[in-house]
Amino acid sequence: MIRLGLRLAVSGGREALLRLLVTAAAVAIGVGLLLTTLAAINAVHTQNDRYAWFNTGFTAASRVAPADREAAGATVSGSTAGSSASGGEAGAGTTASGGAAGSSASGGEAGVGSSASGGKAPMWWLTRRDSFQGREIGRVDVALTGASAATSPGVDRMPADGEYYLSPALARLADATPPEQLADRFGGHRIGILGKDALPAPDSLVALVGRAPQAVRALPGAALVDRIATTSPDHCDDCVVGIKSNGTSLILTVATGALVFPVLILIGTATRLTATQRERRFAAMRLVGATPRQVSVVSAVEAVAAAAAGVALGFLPHLALRAPVAGMSLSGDRFFPSDVTLTPLQVLAVALGVPLAAAVAARIALRRVRISPLGVSRRVTPKPPRAWRVVPLLAGLAELAVFLVWHPGSVPGQIRGYLSAFGLIMLGLVLSGPWLTGRTAALLARRTQRPATLIAVRRLADNPTAGFRAVSGLVLALLVMTATVGIIGTMTAERGRVEGGPQFDNVLTNDLSTGYRRDGLPAAAGRPAPSGLVDALHAVPGVTGVLLVHPLDAPVPIHVADRTAADETVAGETVDCRDLAAVGVFGHCAPGAATAYVPFVWSGFVDYSATEWPAAPYTAEQLTARPVVNVVVSTDGSQAAVEHARTTVDAAYPAIRQSTTLAEGRRLAGSELRAYQQLAGVVILATFPIAGCSLAVAAAAGLGERKRPFSLLRLTGVPLRMLRRVVLLESAVPLLAVSAVAVGVGLLAADLFLRSQLKYTLHPLDAGYWLAVAAGLVAALAAIGATLPMLRRITGPETARNE
């Protein structure tokens, strides 16, 4: 029977071969999209793994034990004194003599390294964030205490004092930019380019900078480490850099629910192509003596042959899509093309799973033939769908409602809960679609008298499952799109900030505090400003003002009359009024005041340009001896001025987070939301083409299955234009009816999720969403209309003959 099935599949005439090719092509599209989705998920994981080494110093496993840290600290202190005596320690730790001092210190550190990590000398480590022209730079400062230090990915050896490595993208920027704007930040000289293993993405801006031990040790946040972190951030509780477990789970949840499910619908639709003709042929085989088991084997062989050919062909669209997917920013950065790969287990699962699913679908499709060989030819009307099909949909919404009063405490519990709820909602919409289609058709049948509409709704009422199957993929895509846009749009609106005006693009600020006390004041701040810093900044072409912000010893209640700053009731810092006026964007002092009280760290989210701040009881000279918590620099907005000033400030005050313009600060604060919006765009752009493919396949298959009834109608005098209206209405009725339900369910699910998880209320969707929905529905109707010219060719008189 297997050989007979293969012969029927490939040697059954032109129609059989065409059926095989069309089914294989449709399955290939679905498999290609499924493989691409899995490869993109793998790329997210691979990219996240390469963030691991940035977390060295943050993770407890990489840090040296306290006893060994004290020993290393004593040795480094000794080396500091030696290098100071020789004039090698120059503050920045970038001179040749400073490097020699670091080397001389390493002799005393070898014993510490051996006791700490099997012969590896410890090193001082600090991961920092810098910026250049609005792009983030990941910077790692290291200070070797011995020759046998652990080696980070992407380099052959760690840089010594005065040496540094740059990523390819950052090296290109440094070569094309005046050194005072970028390269001078790293000091010394470049000794190489970071390899791919050290870079999360092709465009990553990364610097690995070698410095003297005493220079790094003095920086807040520096840690003594004896090994490089290798644990992926999504499996690391202490990690700071990279995508944490909840972020990765979000990406995987959205990708799985929004892409894989519609792809599986496309594959399922493709395997049911020409199901009616196969049912008739197999019924004829039953009439001539074939057993149900033999018919099932032949059916399974035909389905598996088409599905296997589709799986093999599916690797072609996957290979064609690898480069475009690598260029997408699913996680905020592009992928290396080699990251967009499949695991052998995934290839095996798809290669075996799709043909197996096709065989199961074929067996289920022939249940009437197995019961009776006359069941197909008699065309008994199937039982109408029952109302129980709505139960999974209601259960998913009920689960989301339960989370309003009881919420899972752990992130994995939340992921499982919400994934199961949205899974039930999607499954429920697919199951309830036929029932909703049948109820809509019955309602229209009672209210219409037009022949085309009556024929269409009667056919839908007769078999609503077949009518809904054609549009199920598009309806599901609409549900996913509505929920995604609703959730992310509300998050953006709730977390959005006042822009403040274009002047914020021109102002640099930093934060030199190492945390905050219980009263809200900085726990520690930078040293008083070096004597030449302000003059050096004023000498930069394009700098218009310099403001040093000093912390108070205790919070001071203040009253501000300006409505914009009405919420500011406590001052934590003080400034010189002349410098405040020069910067301009943060308001001005009360008349006659020399210094003023101001609120805590300015972020640029509120426009204080018209605010008058109360006077403080200090003189300008008294402030110069106080620590500095912020260095604010206003410029004329030119990139040269911004970057030169940034380099100057960062050389004087190295910090974990280097100076940024206020506009850059706003963008960094909204980077997570932009990643979510990017993900929403990917979902929308991916699900609609997938759903469109499902609709086109289903529409073509539906015409092929009904060509004989349509041919008989034409022979009885029904005009061709009426048949075209019938076909269009048979798809338009379930599409529009169930789409309305999908939009409503998507909005309700989004609101329940926002209320239970984020304590937000759903915001109205903007006009762009409704335009996208309207365009998608119009495109769907156009896809259906594109199949209408086939009616004339497939409904000729010769089609009406008995097969």
pLDDT 10s digits, 500-553: 556 667 888 888 775 555 555 555 566 788 888 999 999 999 999 999 999 888
Q: Which token pair is 16?
A: 């059989």
441, amino acid identity: A
Residue 318 pLDDT exceeds 70: yes
Give all strands (DSSP E) within 58-134, no chain letters: 123-132
Q: Which token pair is 138?
A: 């990941």
Tally the C-alpha atoms within 13 A of residue 324's C-alpha that lie toward its C-beta. Answer: 10
Percent of the chain, pLDDT > 90?
28
Q: Which of 520, 51, 465, 475 is nearest to 272 (CA)?
A: 465
Choice among 50-59, 484-493, 671-680 with the minimum mean pLDDT: 671-680
Residue 673 pLDDT exceeds 90: no
pLDDT band at 790; cut points 50, 70, 90: confident
pLDDT band at 168; cut points 50, 70, 90: very high
Report which of residues 201 and 380 the model is more confident about: 201
220, amino acid identity: P
Q: Are 569 and 665 in contact (CB under 8 A)?
A: no
pLDDT for 567 equals 63
Give dist(CA 511, CA 631) in Å, integer: 8
Residue 480: Cβ within 10 Å count: 27
Q: Which token pair is 759?
A: 């304590």
DSSP-derived secondary structure for 545-606: EEEEEEEEEEEEE----SGGGTT--EEEEEEEHHHHHHH-TT-EEPTT-SEEEE-S---SSS
Q: Are 98 and 212 in contact (CB under 8 A)?
A: yes
Residue the block writes with tokens 């034409």 = 714
pLDDT band at 74; cut points 50, 70, 90: very low
pLDDT mean over 167-192: 94
pLDDT band at 276; cut points 50, 70, 90: low
pLDDT band at 177; cut points 50, 70, 90: very high
pLDDT mean over 765-770: 87
Give dist(CA 566, CA 451) in Å, integer: 69
Q: Which token pair is 512?
A: 């030199």
Residue 433 pLDDT exceeds 90: yes
Burial bucket for residue 519 (CB in 10 Å: 0-12, 13-18, 19+): exposed
Residue 13 pLDDT exceeds 90: no
Number of continuous H segments (helices) and E segments (strands) in the chain: 28, 14
Q: Are 414 and 757 in contact (CB under 8 A)?
A: yes
Give dist(CA 58, CA 631) in Å, integer: 26
Residue the block writes with tokens 């919400």 = 418
Tell me if residue 129 falls in helix, strand or coil: strand
Task: Return the sign of the alpha-carbon dihedral for residues 479, 482, 488, 494.
Answer: negative
Q: Are 486 and 683 in contact (CB under 8 A)?
A: no
For 113-127, write each residue's pLDDT tens digit. 333 445 678 999 999
CA 95 to chain centre: 43
In sequence order, what are the residues at sequence separation of 6 or more whose Cβ sits closer than 8 angstroms to the Cβ of residue 426? 257, 261, 396, 476, 479, 480
Give dist(CA 695, CA 783) in Å, integer: 8
CA distances to 482, 617, 630 from 550, in Å: 49, 13, 7
Helices 671-705 and 767-786 pack at an angle, to 10 degrees, of 20
Mean pLDDT (the chain) is 79
